[in-house]
């Protein structure tokens, strides 16, 4: 790699540090050139947790991202950020952990925007801990919105001028969301011509770069049976279909709106058989994420589309219920690292 890749610590009370330690311990080739933005003591606790009688990974403090490129395998480089008096208790909400998790994301985003790193992979943070952290971090419901704010500020743009979308992907299915972390009532109101068309344009541009060809995009309806010709709601007729027509007029390969209870099955790739579509645009968070997560959290990757940087994340949360038990699976984090390398052409 010509540039290193940052992995943010996530919430220190959750499974983020554990899956990071497991990734570096068990997959040294996949983690080469990566470093962690976070806290030395927390990562050292995590390496002891996952060692299971073996010699723990060496945890090395680095001062600059470039130092990560020269370290040997099975060494976990950490860029110390902020200061925790001690690692927080596993599975407990902590304002200090929320603050550190947010600071790591902001630092990594700014480093990526400066061009100091190839990409960032974000370990899970806890939204309640983020709220406990207070200003300026408490105003953001998650990673996507924090990164959007950093990118917009860097470019001197408003948030409206820096639209972003969340894509969840695994080997079988890709889903892009019109709205992200908002209440369901507000998500229905967010199904507008502008938002749907914007989502289609961002999806087309991003997947065209990933696939190297025009992507086939399906659009899920909002209502049961995609509205059944207006019997179950008119959003498909008045909003979604006109946005699809406009996207087609701009040269996009878009189909729909389709009944949301079947379109994901049509898009799913199985074995050697590709799906009918390269991605599905879903109208709101749970409509799109439930089918992806049902296929398995192990290989799911969250990708932020529309940013002038590469950001991926595991497709799961902080899992406070198993934090500290050694049970956490690093597969989704490793998938996120592989995806980040692919998107940044860093491998």
> Which residues lie closer than 8 Å to 57 by C-beta, 6 or more apart?
21, 24, 25, 47, 51, 74, 75, 76
What's the confidence (pLDDT) of residue 1? 56
pLDDT (tens digit per residue) in 166-211 = 999 988 999 999 998 889 999 999 999 999 999 999 999 999 988 8
**How far does Cα 323 stand from its chain's mean position?**
20
What's the confidence (pLDDT) of residue 347? 39
- The more confidently predicted of residues 139 and 33 is 33
Token digits for 49? 């947790």
pLDDT (tens digit per residue) in 293-332 = 888 767 789 999 999 999 999 988 999 999 999 999 999 9
> What count of other Cβ atoms lies within 10 Å of the Cβ of residue 290?
12
Res. 164: pLDDT tops 70: yes
> 99, 104, 86: which is closest to 20 by C-alpha?
104
In order of 114, 163, 265, the CA distances from 216 in angstroms are 33, 21, 15
CA 2 – CA 14 distance, rounded (Å): 31
CA 61 – CA 291 distance, rounded (Å): 40
What's the confidence (pLDDT) of residue 346? 43
Q: Give the model's confidence band at 55: pLDDT under 50 very low, under 70 low, under 90 confident, else very high.
A: confident
The H or E element that residue 279 is part of is strand 279-282
CB-neighbour burial class of residue 308 (10 A; exposed 0-12, middle 13-18, buried 19+): exposed
pLDDT (tens digit per residue) in 9-37 = 999 999 999 999 999 999 999 999 999 99
- Mean pLDDT, the chain, whole residue set: 92
- Percentage of residues in the chain having pLDDT higher than 90: 78
- C-alpha Rg value of the chain to the nearest Å: 20
């Amino acid at each position: 790699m010509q540039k290193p890749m940052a992995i943010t610590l996530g919430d220190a009370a959750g499974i983020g540090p554990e899956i990071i330690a497991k990734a570096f311990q068990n997959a040294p080739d996949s983690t080469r050139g990566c470093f962690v933005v976070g806290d030395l003591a927390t990562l050292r606790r995590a390496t002891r947790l996952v060692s299971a009688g073996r010699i723990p990974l060496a945890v090395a403090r680095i001062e600059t991202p470039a130092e990560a490129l020269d370290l040997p395998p099975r060494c976990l480089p950490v860029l110390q950020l902020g200061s925790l008096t001690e690692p927080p208790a596993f599975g407990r909400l902590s304002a200090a952990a929320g603050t550190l998790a947010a600071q790591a994301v902001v630092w990594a985003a700014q480093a990526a925007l400066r061009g100091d790193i190839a990409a960032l992979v974000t370990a899970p943070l806890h939204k309640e801990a983020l709220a406990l952290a207070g200003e300026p971090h408490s105003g953001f419901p998650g990673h996507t919105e924090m990164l959007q704010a950093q990118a917009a500020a860097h470019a001197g743009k408003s948030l409206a001028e820096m639209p972003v979308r969340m894509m969840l992907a695994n080997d079988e299915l890709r889903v892009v969301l019109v709205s992200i972390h908002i209440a369901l009532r507000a998500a229905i109101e967010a199904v507008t011509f502008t938002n749907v068309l914007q989502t289609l344009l961002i999806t087309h541009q991003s997947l065209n770069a990933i696939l190297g060809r025009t992507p086939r995009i399906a659009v899920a309806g909002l209502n049961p049976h995609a509205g059944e010709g207006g019997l179950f709601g008119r959003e498909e007729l008045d909003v979604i279909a006109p946005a699809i027509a406009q996207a087609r007029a701009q040269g996009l390969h878009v189909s729909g709106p389709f009944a949301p209870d079947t379109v994901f099955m049509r898009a799913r790739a199985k074995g050697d058989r590709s799906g009918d579509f390269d991605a599905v645009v879903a109208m709101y968070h749970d409509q799109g994420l439930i089918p992806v997560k049902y296929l398995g959290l192990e290989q799911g990757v969250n990708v932020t589309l529309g940013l002038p940087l590469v950001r991926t994340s595991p497709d799961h949360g902080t899992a406070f219920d198993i934090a500290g038990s050694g049970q956490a699976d690093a597969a989704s984090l490793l998938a996120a690292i592989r995806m980040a390398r692919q998107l940044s052409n860093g491998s």
